């Protein structure tokens, strides 16, 4: 039975969903890293929040793990490259707490504008400092939204409802989406120059770390107010303190910090800073939503192959998963075939999908084909890591789709360009089973077997008999024999399915047969 570990505190509904779907589940929040490392090898799925740190050593010990699901958005606590290299899918739940986090950011902005926490503390202390806490209106002010994805767009829509002008910086925000939201898309420096309030809603990456820095403050309006409910590290805290002390920044509201839990921080105690302990997603509704979503996503993946909100591989819907399954084996075989006959460096890979298969989500099929292609050359490669490895090696990848197919209901053609040549291999499904139909432009129909021999040869009489004799003398039994050629007497290919692995000396004897150009032993 498939097993899932819930290693952080989570709504009980998550465990209930796993059990209802027929999965075995253990709830063990508060495990130490050593305890997690010792136990993780038992599990197929891991459900976490932010407390569990899934570092490279944990992943190295996770020999059965197939999926990590984060109940929430941020995955700073997961070593995604290590997971990718091991073929572990990493998912998050980007929509479950979008509204909750957006509402918290707006609440922080309002509290900042009217100094509500400071005024509350003063009043509780028996003071009546009405003149001390002079605020500003949000009405008519310009809000700069850095990162206009799920949460940023929620903030923008609500700010527009408060009659604020909204400018947004996001490299992935299309002009059409900006118009739909009612925001003005601008470059970052323009946002800094125009915004009265700036709110951050971007992940923490190498590109975004310190996006609010000393140089950034120099470009901002005097009296700007900063809100960060996204990730600590986006704001240079030392630079922010200096800007607050100098009066360049009127105030800051922070829900996240460079080091968490934040027991100490240079901004604590500053009169113009509001702090909360990473409460952005802390509502009852959000915690239930993300727990339910992560449980459903992990269960769907383990049981059906459906991939939702994955960060390191293409998504596959529950509806598409069963339709893709037979094609997954076909493209894996095509990739493996091409990979086993390739001897020089890869430069480009082209995959053509024709007929019925062209209407499916082909991104996962391309990843699987790449994995099959690269595996003979690289030991640790899988459908998750294959696209990353191809990119790292500057291997160009292209897809083409055609709705019609002349001869078959569906056809997949894989073309590989190496340093010395270009070759192709095509396949289809017959009765749901993978079938090879073309090699290097030569038509040849053959089923895939566990052990096969691939011959290229000149089309001359007597070749089949000589090959059969050589194999018979070596004690190799032939299961099937398939031939193909373009023209009489010209280039030809043969695919021979045999009952077991073949020894190197037998391969040498086959290569010595007259008119044989090349022989390769293949395994599928």
Catalytic residue among 49, 70, 278, 375: 278
Give the chain's radius of gyration (CA, Å): 30
CA distances in angstroms from 121 to 104, 105, 257, listed in the order given: 20, 21, 23
Catalytic residue among 231, 258, 375, 438: 231
30 CB-near residues (< 8 Å, 6+ apart)? 51
- Residue 447 falls in the annotated catalytic set: no
- Tell me the helices (H) and strands (E) count for the chain, helix number first: 17, 22
Q: Is 169 helix (H, G, I), strand (E, B) or coil?
A: strand
- Residue 260 falls in the annotated catalytic set: yes
CA distance linking residue 254 with residue 278, whole number of Å: 8
Residue 133: DSSP 8-state:
-
CA distance linking residue 298 with residue 491, whole number of Å: 50
Catalytic residue among 157, 184, 190, 260: 260
Q: What is the helix (H) or strand (E) element at residue 101, kind and residue range?
A: helix 98-114
- Residue 278 falls in the annotated catalytic set: yes
Q: What is the helix (H) or strand (E) element at residue 119, kind and residue range?
A: helix 116-124
CA atoms within 13 A on the CB side of 355: 13
Chain centroid to CA 425: 28
Backbone angles phi, psi at 238, to 5 degrees: -65, -40
Residue 393: DSSP 8-state:
T
CA distance linking residue 421 with residue 425, whole number of Å: 14
Interstrand relation of 184-185 and 249-254 (parallel, antiparallel or unpaired) = unpaired
Q: What angle do CA 372, 374, 378 make, to 5 degrees?
A: 125
The catalytic site residues sit at: 231, 260, 278
């Amino acid at each position: 039975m498939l097993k899932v570990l819930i290693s952080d505190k989570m709504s009980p509904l998550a465990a209930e969903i796993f059990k209802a779907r027929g999965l075995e589940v253990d709830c063990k929040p508060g495990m130490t890293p050593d305890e997690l490392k010792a136990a993780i090898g038992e599990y197929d799925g891991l459900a976490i929040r932010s407390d569990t740190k899934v570092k490279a050593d944990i992943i190295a010990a996770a020999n059965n793990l197939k999926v990590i699901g984060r109940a929430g958005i941020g995955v700073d606590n997961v070593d995604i490259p290590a997971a990718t290299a091991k073929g572990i899918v990493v998912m998050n739940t980007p929509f479950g707490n979008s509204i909750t986090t957006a509402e918290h950011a707006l609440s922080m902005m309002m509290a900042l504008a009217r100094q509500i926490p400071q005024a509350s503390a003063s009043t509780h202390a028996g003071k009546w400092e009405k003149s001390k806490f002079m605020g500003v209106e949000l009405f008519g002010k310009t809000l700069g939204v850095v990162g206009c994805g799920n949460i940023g767009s929620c903030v923008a829509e609500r700010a527009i409802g408060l009659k604020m002008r909204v400018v947004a910086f996001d490299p992935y925000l299309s002009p059409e989406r900006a118009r739909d939201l009612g925001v003005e898309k601008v470059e970052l420096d323009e946002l800094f120059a125009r915004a009265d309030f700036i709110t951050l809603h971007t992940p923490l990456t190498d590109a975004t770390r310190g996006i609010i820095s000393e140089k950034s403050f120099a470009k901002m309006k005097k009296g700007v107010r900063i809100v960060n409910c996204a990730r600590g590290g986006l704001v240079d805290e030392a630079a922010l303190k200096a800007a607050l002390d100098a009066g360049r920044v009127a105030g800051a509201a922070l829900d996240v910090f460079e080091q968490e839990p934040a027991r100490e921080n240079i901004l604590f105690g500053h009169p113009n800073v509001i702090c909360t302990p990473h409460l952005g997603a802390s509502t009852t509704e959000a915690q239930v939503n993300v727990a339910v979503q992560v449980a459903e996503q992990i269960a769907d993946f383990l049981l059906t192959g459906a991939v939702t909100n994955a960060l390191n591989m293409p998504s596959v819907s529950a509806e598409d998963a069963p339709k893709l399954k037979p094609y997954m084996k076909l493209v894996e075989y095509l990739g493996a075939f091409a990979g086993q006959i390739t001897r020089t460096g890869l430069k480009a890979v082209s995959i053509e999908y024709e007929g019925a298969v062209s209407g499916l989500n082909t991104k996962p099929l391309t990843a699987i084909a790449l994995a099959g292609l690269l595996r003979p050359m690289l030991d640790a490669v899988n459908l998750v890591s294959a696209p990353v490895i191809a990119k790292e090696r500057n291997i160009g990848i292209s897809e083409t789709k055609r709705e019609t197919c002349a001869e078959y209901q569906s056809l997949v053609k894989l073309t590989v360009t190496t340093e010395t040549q270009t070759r192709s291999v095509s396949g289809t499904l017959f009765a749901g089973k993978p079938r090879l139909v073309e090699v290097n432009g030569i038509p040849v129909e053959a089923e895939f077997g566990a052990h096969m021999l691939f011959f290229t040869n000149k089309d001359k009489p007597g070749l089949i008999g000589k090959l059969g004799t050589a194999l018979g003398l070596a004690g190799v039994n032939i299961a099937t024999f398939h031939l193909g050629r373009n023209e009489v007497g010209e280039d030809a290919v043969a695919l021979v399915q045999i009952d077991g692995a073949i020894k190197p000396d037998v391969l040498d004897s086959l290569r010595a047969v007259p008119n044989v150009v090349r022989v390769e032993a293949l395994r599928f």
